[in-house]
Amino acid sequence: MTKICCIGAGYVGGPTMAMIAKKCPEIQVTVVDINEQRIAAWLSDHLPIYEPGLAEVVKEALGRNLFFSTEVDRAIEEADIIFVSVNTPTKTFGEGAGCAADLQYWELCARRIRAISTTNKIIVEKSTLPVRTAEAMERVLHSGDNPVHFEVLSNPEFLAEGTAIADLEDPDRVLIGGHDTPSGQAAVRKLVDIYATWLPREKILTTNVWSSELSKLTANAFLAQRVSSINAISALCEATEADVTEVANAIGKDRRIGSKFLRASIGFGGSCFKKDILNLVYICETYGLQEAADYWRQVVLLNDYQEARFVKKMLKEMFNTISGKRIAIFGFAFKANTGDTRESPAIRVCRALAAERAKLVVTDPQAIDNAKLELPELLGEIEFEEDPYKAAEGAHAIALLTEWPEYKELDYEKIYASMDKPAFIFDGRNLLDHKKLFDIGFEVYSIGKELRSHLK
Ligand code: NAD
Ligand code: UGA
């Protein structure tokens, strides 16, 4: 029986391993983590992450061939294949601080694997890593006098939160990078065979290790770049009475451009876009490619600008003062269908509004617990309220920051009646029916569209 160990039971490790276990009942999959609470949550009815469809997939395989454990060493020793899916955040100290990827968690894993292993193993980079990390890992794994052979593969993950299960079930592609050596190619074949259990082989791309590592950073950079591009256009739309949704639709019909990732917004969030682009910037700089680095950095700068522009607009439209005004924040997650709040634009927007002394009430269907952790300095000042109707009661404004579909279905006449007047809505996701809201009586501000105001 093939035994897989996955180190890191997070947003990637948990769902990807649950899917492999579901599809391959003959493989034993053990997901390990040093975070005891997280492992306990995977074994409970309250999974540590909210992801539609995940609970069913976990339930099907848990205890059969899917295991969660804190016994890292034991799982390493028993495994034929070890996926490493630990976090790779932006470095906050020393050389490359604020830009480079912090590889300490990955390296600790490599050292542990080297110390524990007594049989040959395939080591799979599942985390997103700088190009050529595999080289450093191979050095760490093969240093000392352990005769064990480790074959390092790159197999980056492309799932998006909120649609992780659908993405794993039917991905656009799976990417596997391996060395062009007999042992490298044998390892690639072994991993290809696992994915081929449920995916057509033509969807499984194989490349050299460096192309695979770099493709992951490039994919995220391109996706984020599209969001920044349309957001740059949204600013121009507001100045010219063009409508960004109409522009996005018009250009998206061009099959060379395509229609995805052209939704103007308050900006992209999430744990990866910003960190991966900054990492790309750092790598370009390391190779002396300053112009390439500057090009990609601009994607992040534009995102910062878009967030700041939104707050400025709120302030300006609300008569240049929001001090003491109650503002209901509709949605704190970085996107809909997830409870994840990492790098959510809501964090910075709330901080900026609180700095103006607004009284904030945050509501979100899934992310209230995480929201509290993101704003420790404001606890006690900010209210958290599960019911959006209660959050809006007596408010001067609603700022919609996450495109939860349920926010579309709310009774806005009832909400309007309960708010202070003039009642403002700032739709940071262009989710709502703006004309209808305006007709109800709201002052409506959206992204890249005309301002609908009764006051002008
Ligand atoms: P995460 O923080 O949710 O999970 C990482 C887990 O690794 C944590 O639970 C942590 O406790 C554990 N860990 C860290 N060091 C460990 C060690 N030495 N031993 C055992 N466990 C250890 O992170 P994530 O969102 O799952 O992301 C993991 C990687 O996947 C990152 O490189 C990220 O860029 C990449 N990625 C993430 C997504 C996503 O949607 N979140 C998608 C694609 C790729
Ligand atoms: C993204 C990628 O889509 C995944 O392929 C990748 O695996 C993952 O990053 C990763 O490496 O972590 P994710 O961050 O979960 O996935 O979510 P996205 O759907 O990409 O959205 C990212 C951010 O961009 C969100 O804040 C979203 O609201 C925003 N966005 C997205 C827009 O503002 N407009 C759009 O048109 C699309």
Q: Residue 456 has what pLDDT?
A: 74
Ligand sitting nearest the alpha carbon of 347: 2
Establish whether residue 34 lines the binding site of ligand 1, counting it when its CB lies within 6 angstroms of any ligand atom: yes
Regarding the domain delimited by 3-207, which CATH topology (the fold level of the hierarchy) does it fall under? Rossmann fold (3.40.50)
Crossing angle of helices 13-23/54-61, nearest 10°? 50
Find where tokens 């609908």 sit.
452
- What amino acid is encoded at 137 in this protein? M
The pTM score is: 0.97
Q: Given CATH 3.40.50.720, say whether it is the number of domain 210-456.
A: yes
Separation between Cα atoms, residue 451 and residue 40, nearest integer Å? 49
Residues in the chain: 456
The finding on whether 154 has its CB within 6 A of some atom of ligand 1 is no
What number does the ligand 2 atom closest to the CA of 336 have?
Answer: 28
- Of 6, 237, 272, 284, the active-site residue reads 272
Q: Identify whether 5 is a catalytic site residue.
A: no
Residue 144: predicted pLDDT: 85
Q: Is the C-beta atom of 187 inside 6 A of ligand 1?
A: no
4 lines ligand 1 (CB under 6 A): no
* First-residue to last-residue Cα distance in the chain: 72
Mean pLDDT, each 10-residue run in order, the chain (456 residues): 97 98 98 98 95 96 98 98 96 92 94 96 96 93 91 98 97 98 98 98 97 98 98 97 98 98 98 96 97 98 98 97 98 96 98 98 97 95 97 98 98 98 98 98 97 90
Which residue's CA is minimally distant from atom 34 of ligand 2? Answer: 263
Taking the centre of ligand 1 as the mean of its atom positions, its distance from the CA of residue 373, in whole angstroms, is 18
Q: How far is the CA of 160 from the centre of ligand 2 (A)?
A: 6
Cα of 267 vs centre of ligand 2, distance in Å, is 10
Q: Is the CB of 127 under 6 A from ligand 1?
A: yes
Could you tell me the distance, in angstroms and rounded to a whole number, from the CA of residue 261 to the centre of ligand 2?
8
CA of 340, closest atom in ligand 2: 15
With a 6 Å cutoff on the Cβ, whether 268 touches ligand 2 is yes
User: Which pLDDT value is given to residue 369?
Assistant: 96
CA distance 403 to 287: 39
From CA 165, how far away is CA 354, in angstroms rounded? Answer: 36
All CATH 3.40.50.720 domain ranges of the chain, comma separated, are 3-207, 210-456
pLDDT value for 70: 98
Atom of ligand 1 nearest to the CA of 164: 40
